[in-house]
Amino acid sequence: MKKFIFILLSVTVLTSCVYANAKRYGVSSGIVEYKTSTKGNLLGFATNSEGSSKLYFKDYGNVELREETIHQGGNANHVKTKFVNGMVYTVDEKKKIIIKSDMQSMMGDKNMKAMGEDMLKQMGGKKIGKGKVLGYPCDIWTAMGSKMWFYKGVLLKLESSMLGIKTMQHATKVKFGVHVPSSKFALPNYPIHTLNEYIQEQTKSENSEKSSAPTPQVPKMEDVQKLMKGLGNMFGGH
């Protein structure tokens, strides 16, 4: 499980840092709509989902919000995540809380660009060429089974095959250099928990379930995936 989380976190940080410097993106603002599909089998759990998402950003990506709806097995899961100057806020609608993660503290003295370059080297990532998505010229990168198309740092397309899960994500509509209303970046008025608090709560809950169950329990993937999706989506991943 820890290895799985590390791989997901590595890819999500990678997708934010490939181009990052003082500005996360090379374009001041934008609205991007995506379609996503995920299929495969992980730890005995089959997954087959379809989703759509919207990305809003301003101040060259230093303020960003992504909202996504995922349809799977007749159920709809809504995810909303906000990035503000190194802080990530992930909304958990089921628990009615917001999970706060300090990415800048996790990076220490390194800036996003330096961290991204280090992780690229560790994962064997490299730029393999150029292409276009919806007419926008993109740099194409590969790393750990993922192929990504970036326009000035903004992820427009992703093809990933990891641990038996295949994910396809592509932009369907793009507007850059537009005014994005402040209302698009609003979060619900839920209690805020730090990432450490959230992990401790999840660990305590899972340990309690294991001790009371007659048979060994498989760790819940739903909450882990939701948390990592919240972090990951802020950085272009899925």
Query: Above 60 in pLDDT, residue 170?
Result: yes
Residues 62-83 have pLDDT tens digits of 899 999 998 888 888 888 999 9
Dihedral, 231, 233, 237, 238 alpha carbons, nearest 10: 100
Q: Is 62 helix (H, G, I), strand (E, B) or coil?
A: coil
R_g over Cα of the chain = 18
Report how far residue 178's alpha carbon sits from residue 159's, in angstroms, rounded to the nearest whole number.
Answer: 28
Question: Where in the chain are the domains?
Answer: 2-234
Helices within the chain (DSSP H only): 2-17, 103-107, 112-123, 195-212, 221-234
Contact 150, 133 (CB under 8 A): no
**Which tokens is 100 given?**
């706060």
Please state, rounded to an integer, the average pLDDT across all residues of the chain. 77
Split at pLDDT 50, 70, 90, the class of 36 is very high
pLDDT > 60? residue 59: yes
Q: What is the pLDDT of residue 28?
A: 95
Q: Which two tokens stand for residue 27?
A: 């374009």
Q: Which two tokens stand for residue 186?
A: 């609003």
| The pLDDT of residue 145 | 81
Q: What is the mean pLDDT of residues 184-189?
A: 94
DSSP state of 86: T
Q: What is the pLDDT of residue 156?
A: 96
Architecture of 2-234 per CATH?
Clam (2.50)
